[in-house]
Structure 1
Amino acid sequence: MQRSRGWITGWNAVRLAVAVLILAAVIAQFSSTVGEALTQGRHVPTVVANFFSFFTILSNVSSAVVLLVLGVRFFARGRRLEVDPRGLATALAFVSTYMIVTGVVYNLLLRGLPLQPETVGWSNEVMHVWGPLFLLLDVVLGPLRRRLPWSAAFAAAIFPIVWIVYTLVRAPLITNPTTGAPYWYPYPFLDPNTGGWGSVAVYIVIIAVAIIALAFGVVALGRARGAAPR
């Protein structure tokens, strides 16, 4: 489906606005988290490292960066109607997958958990609901898509696998700065002290399969809607 230059221009302007909103949400939550750590006398370096160990934070920051690059590139190049370069198109497919997974996992597994005192309400909703929803819309409506090879869907699983390995190796080595427990896991479904390693393994397999399946969906939509480079 062909889009007018005005529509494409407007979509890229929205991309820039959403990127700024996501970054504002991350910064607001970071400031609140560090502020609470200082007030409670917690070990701030550990708190900061933990903050950037959440998949939610990593997916939101990376998606904001990709959206910013897309928007700035479009306007800096005189609003040319050309497909995204392969590297940028691949990065967009990856972060779209990660953000959709973030939204699904949070709203299915974590929505009912009590929020921490330092949680910023609007920031939490932006990172877990509105940001993921926009990236989903971008998959469906975003202009100037490039057709990516199917191998990109498998490559999308590399980062989550590395993150899971990092999390499971690091967690037992960290003292929880809030509770004093001799471990820190970013999400309860990854904590073997709660449900055992069997439960953790099941969740890891389910999430890995979901990521690959969603990545295939993202690539498939891009191939159906996109264009090959000239």
Structure 2
Amino acid sequence: MKTWWPYVRLASAALGLAAVIAQLSLTVALAADNSTPWGSHLPTVWWNFFSFFTIDSNVIAAVSFIVAAIWGVRHRRDDEREPSWLAILLVCASTYMIVTGIVYNTLLRGIELPQGITVPWSNEVLHVVFPLILLLDVLFAPRRRALPWSTVFISAIFPLVWVAYTMIRANLVIAPATGEKWWYPYPFLNPQVIPGGYLGVSGYIIGIAIAIIGVACFVVWVGRRRAASVSSD
């Protein structure tokens, strides 16, 4: 498996990046056709696009897979385990992608998001296919390294920064699609529509934080179990 798994990662990364590019192309095309000053402002449209946790997670996962694939190809003839820095990167990418799949399919499927029209196949790749591939990578990728439980807290850094950034920036941006004086990437973060306002939003944030920590614990636990089983063979 160690000889061909890197190529699975490369193909998966290519699929994920293709999905990101397809959705970005449509989003930019829609902005170019928009007649309003806020809807046609491409810098804001670009910045908003890369402010979605889904997009960030898919890009992180694709880059992680490319890096891991290059390392795997270079070490295909030895039995060395993945280095700690790479193992941590993969834990973070896997956690974000699995949570993306869970949140989208439980909270957001069927709800129109503020980037406008989505590319159907791209949407499924970003929210279902690529997250499932990351889960399979956690369960079956060769040469897993056991990591300390502190890795869970490392994986929580980016989501915490993202939430803070999102909530601060939201009221500084005019929504391109509607002209509203705020822009939230996901409806469950928008105190204008969530019952209870910011209190209601905080409930969602706490729930998703619990999910991130729980998934990170699962990913680290699987890695530790798999590394231990290889050592005992």
TM-score bracket, shorter-length normalisation: over 0.9
- Tell me, yes or no, if the aligned pair for 2:27 and 2:116 is still in contact at 8 Å: no
Work out the CA distance in 2 between the residues paired with 1:114 and 1:153: 32
Question: 1:3 maps to what in 2?
Answer: none
- Tell me, yes or no, if the aligned pair for 2:83 and 2:145 is still in contact at 8 Å: yes
- 5 Å-filtered alignment, 1:91-102, equals 91-102=89-100
Unaligned runs of 5+ in 2: none
Work out the CA distance in 2 between the residues paired with 1:168 and 1:118: 24
TM score, norm. by length of structure 1: 0.93
Question: 2:186 maps to what in 1?
Answer: 187
- Tell me, yes or no, if the aligned pair for 1:59 and 1:95 is still in contact at 8 Å: yes
Q: Does residue 71 of the first structure (1) align with residue 65 of the second (2)?
A: no
- 5 Å-filtered alignment, 1:19-30, equals 19-30=13-24
Cα distance per residue 1:200-222 (max 9 Å; x no partner): 00000000011011101100000
Distance change in 2, residues 1:79/1:170 (3 Å)? farther
Q: Which moved more, 1:168-177 or 1:72-81?
A: 72-81
Question: 1:46 maps to what in 2?
Answer: 44
Cα distance per residue 1:125-170 (max 9 Å; x no partner): 0000000000011111111101000000122111100000000000
Work out the CA distance in 1 between the residues paired with 2:186 and 2:117: 17
Q: Which moved more, 1:196-205 or 1:79-88?
A: 79-88
- Tell me, yes or no, if the aligned pair for 2:2 and 2:72 is still in contact at 8 Å: no
Question: 1:59 maps to what in 2?
Answer: 57
Unaligned runs of 5+ in 1: 1-6
Aligned-pair CA distance for 1:117: 5.3
Q: Does residue 177 of the first structure (1) align with residue 171 of the second (2)?
A: no
Question: 1:213 maps to what in 2?
Answer: 214
Structure 1 SS opposite 2:185: coil
Question: 1:89 maps to what in 2?
Answer: 87
TM score, norm. by length of structure 2: 0.92
Runs of 4+ in 1 over 3 A off after TM superposition: 114-118
